[in-house]
Structure 1
Amino acid sequence: MSKKNIALLAGGYTGEYEVSINSAKNIAANLDAEKYNVYTILINRDRWFFQSDGEAVDVDKNDFSLTLNGSKILFDSAFITIHGTPGEDGKIQGYLDMLGIPYNTCDATTSAITMNKAYTKALVQGVPNLHAAKSVKLFKSDMHDVGTIAAALKFPLFVKPNNGGSSVGMSKVHSVAELPAALEKAFHEDSQILVEEFIKGREFSQGIARLNGKLVVLPATEIISSKEFFDYEAKYTPGVTQEITPADLPAEKNKIIADILTEVYLRLNCRGMVRIDFILDEQTGDFYFIEVNTTPGQSANSLIPQQVRAAGMSVQEFYGNIVEGSF
């Protein structure tokens, strides 16, 4: 059996560039070398290139190929592990679609929609047992009357960029007086923002993937942060956040959550592996939707690899399944 050529796409245009590089290293180390030739291609605003023996070789974007030592390499599939734009928002997916090259993630439409928190919330509305925090969406070009916002929603509020890539630009606000600064901070990151009611409860993040044609819900991870909420610092500073995999949840809760995750995955037409973040309201025990992550982090300690190991699967077999599922 001839080996397949896999283009592992990493980098991107956001602050999570380094996180993406770490994801790619872990994926490359865990793809079966007997089945796949893996080429890590770095994508940034200036160029798309492959490091070969210390030298950068540019990708020919006409047919998404590399020429190494005089021979042209075409790819059987792309494994996208870019967090944020252009790998999580559908742009790379649209390019690969036009060339007829399969890839591991959701399609261009689903990737673009799930990057937008407000649109995603609208689409998962009505999933049985799933709730969404009450929210208001604001555009930078509009006038923002804090009095109107304060009248529509109950404090404390979360102010966050609508663009779903990372946790930068978020604030938790306890009073009207704090709103203007929080709006400004979020608008610094995005031209659309979301102001939503804060749901107090336990926070979880859980993977779901199509493996050998079947949907498999991975064990949940509970995220316990010593900060007031899980922001960029809490995410990437050692010791600020505890991650417990598998989460301590009763069997009947796990069953309800698995059903919700499956319905969200199908309704949004997801592909490959995604991670869904949610909160269990401490008062009601209801499940509140936060967001869907369509290119979740894959460094060795990231949540999905933790969950794969907790499910008793090998990470190598898992990634192999994801690649095979792309064909």
Structure 2
Amino acid sequence: MTTTQRKRYRVGVLFGGRSGEHEVSLASAKNVMEALRQAGHEVVPIGITREGRWLPQPDAWLQLTAEAQERTVGRHLLGQERAGELVPRAWQLSEQPLPAIDVIFPVLHGPYGEDGTVQGLLEMANVPYVGSGVLGSALGMDKAVARKLFAHHGLPQVRHCVVQRHRWRAAPDEVIAEVEAALAYPLFVKPANMGSSVGVSKARNRRQLQDALDYAARYDRKMLVEEAVPHAREIEVSVLGNHEPVASIAGEIIPANEFYDYNAKYENEGSQLLIPAPIDAALMEQVRSYAVRAFQALECEGLARVDFLMNGETQELFVNEINTMPGFTRISMYPKLWEASGVAYPELVHRLLELALERHQERQEFSTVR
């Protein structure tokens, strides 16, 4: 079906937000809005400031990117509203109601956007939205809980342990001793609930482990500590679908830095994306199968990017994490993998809208009364 034959939707694009990935969201939203327009849809920008104020205004993206949210004219939404007023007020402009929205595309990364919080708001408002529901979003965001489900479904993972922030602050020597008894250096430390490699660092000794735990504790109440994979290669797969998800071809990232940290992802253009990944056919099928299994293990819907680590010598694969709202910037792997798999960017965002509406229609069949 051509773009001109498709149904045209009015799409509310949510972006910004309170997480440490605010800037990534802005970059992703810019590309998503362009692709939606290319696919023939009407875009309604809805920005969210770092403080959590909603800006459902045509120039919201410009306001946030110019860091002018404090000078915004008009009434901010959801700032000091009572809980009972929150949902209906979310869809009003400062002076006039928003036009009817067919579906929301929440281009929000990290906490307060990708973790089930916004998804819960949209469920209460009975508004269709792109991506995983409350449960899948929450599970995908919490790396510690996701690891338990991956293990239950027989998916391979690196050795790891979870450190609670309150215990780290109360008994750091005991925590260090327990980690060193369970795992071998070098180690990676990351917040359990964060994305885009925010708060991630590598530790080769006790002093660096202490610093890494302090750093990760700035972002979350739980920290994940895991053993580094020898000769690690970073492999990623994009997944698309609801009940019958499908996987793209796999790609490989050659980071500009020692590992694929925030700088290598979004600031240093020296990182390389190898699409398809230079692996043999059997390994390609294995990693794609693991990606779909990981997607289903966390009950994801719509889209996700599944990240793997591979031992460069033994070719052993390990599921690293899943991103239920992956980046959509011009250098992001998710849309690039689908483009290489035969799905162009405008077609991809259109399919995501259709999947959102399909799921919403299915949920309308559920009874809410006895």
**Corresponding residue of 1:132:** 157
TM-score (norm 2): 0.81
Give 1 or 2: higher helix fraction: 2
Pairs aligned (count): 325
Give 1 or 2: higher strand fraction: 1
**Corresponding residue of 2:360:** none
| Deviating more after overlay: 218-227 vs 116-125 | 218-227
How do 1:1-327 residues align onto structure 2 when only pairs under 5 Å count? 3-32=8-37, 35-44=40-49, 45-52=51-58, 58=76, 61-63=86-88, 64-67=90-93, 70=96, 72-128=98-154, 130-142=155-167, 143-144=171-172, 145=174, 146-200=176-230, 201-210=232-241, 214-327=244-357
Counterpart secondary structure, 1:120: helix
Runs (5+) with no aligned partner, structure 2: 1-5, 61-71, 79-85, 358-370
TM-score (norm 1): 0.91
- Cα 1:191–1:226 change in 2 (3 A) is same
Counterpart secondary structure, 1:131: coil
Answer yes or no: is the 8 Å Cα contact 2:39–2:346 preserved in 1. Answer: no
Deviations 1:217-268 (A, max 9, x none): 1122211124221111121223442111221111111111111111111121
In the TM superposition, what is the alpha-carbon distance from 1:4 to its structure 2 partner? 2.8
Paired amino acid for 2:275: T
The CA RMSD over aligned residues, in Å, is 2.3
Paired amino acid for 2:234: E
- Cα 1:136–1:2 change in 2 (3 A) is closer
Q: Distance in 1 between matches of 2:192 and 2:95?
A: 45
Answer yes or no: is the 8 Å Cα contact 1:5–1:77 preserved in 2. Answer: yes
Deviations 1:51-70 (A, max 9, x none): 33687665584324234875
Identity, % of aligned pairs? 32
Q: Distance in 1 between matches of 2:97 and 2:271?
A: 48
Answer yes or no: is the 8 Å Cα contact 1:27–1:319 preserved in 2. Answer: yes
Paired amino acid for 2:132: C
Deviations 1:19-44 (A, max 9, x none): 21121111111115675321010012
In the TM superposition, what is the alpha-carbon distance from 1:162 to its structure 2 partner? 1.2
Deviations 1:124-169 (A, max 9, x none): 11445x3111111111211232222211111111111111323122
Q: Distance in 2 between matches of 1:262 and 1:155?
A: 31
